Amino acid sequence: MSRAARQTLIAELREHALVIGEVTLSSGRTASYYVDARRALLRPAGFLAAGELIAAAAGEVGAVAVGGPATAAIPPTCAALAVPAGDRLVGFFVRGERKEHGLQRWVEGPVEAGMRCLVVEDTVTTGGSTVRAIRRMREEGLEIAGAVCVVDRLAGGGDAIAGAAGAPFRALVTIDDLYPERPDR
């Protein structure tokens, strides 16, 4: 993992994505902070840093495609495709609901059964949406080579994802990197 890219990503996430204050998470839990990773990933420096790290992770596990649950996986997927090492990858996303018209797909993008995929996600808490996406990917015949999240809140989601994927899971950054003084530590 490129140290410079990781340091840039941490700096961008701290400045633009870490929100201190009570929020309700998608799991229904409340927290005293929130990480809105898209606020950093949709800026040039965060986008390129995450892209470099995700494309490298895809290469390490032999993945030819990157993607995951819509909409959380779209910025990190696009970032991986945009960097030089990503020129050998294709992207995809997994819908929360099947499209009712057109081809009625669960998985959108230039992927087909048997392709090795790196599952990506922006922020992981419980891992629920990623686990659901992995199930859909398996139903479509995609092979899970590994899973990467941009930020792991260290709330058990990483273990849930690794179990569902049957493949390695890793975080580019954890909440400890962004907010070491958080009250729930």
Counting other chains too, the contacts that 91-96 makes at CB distance below 8 Å and 24 or more residues apart are 91/65, 91/66, 91/67, 92/65, 92/66, 92/67, 92/117, 93/67, 93/68, 93/69, 94/67, 94/68, 94/69, 94/70, 94/132, 94/133, 94/136, 94/137, 95/70, 95/136, 96/69, 96/70, 96/129, 96/132
Supply the pLDDT for residue 1.
Answer: 63
Supply the pLDDT for residue 91.
Answer: 98
Supply the pLDDT for residue 29.
Answer: 80
Supply the pLDDT for residue 95.
Answer: 93
Residue whose tokens read 């970032």: 79
Q: Where does 36-87 show beta strands of DSSP type E? A: 65-69
Spatial distance between the Cα atoms of 130 and 42, rounded to a whole number of angstroms: 20
Give the pTM: 0.94
How many residues are there in the chain? 185
Task: Report residues of the chain scoring pLDDT below 70.
Answer: 1
Supply the pLDDT for residue 185.
Answer: 72
Q: Pairing between strand 107-108 and 90-94?
A: antiparallel
What is the token pair recorded at 101? 């018209």
Spatial distance between the Cα atoms of 72 and 68, rounded to a whole number of angstroms: 8
Supply the pLDDT for residue 27.
Answer: 72
Supply the pLDDT for residue 183.
Answer: 80
Supply the pLDDT for residue 97.
Answer: 78
Helix 157-165 and helix 128-139, axial crossing angle in degrees, nearest 10: 10
Supply the pLDDT for residue 100.
Answer: 75
Could you give the 3-state DSSP secondary structure of residue 119?
strand
Cα-based torsion angle of the residue sequence 85, 161, 71, 103 in order, rounded to the nearest 10 degrees:
90
Q: Pairing between strand 65-69 and 116-124?
A: parallel
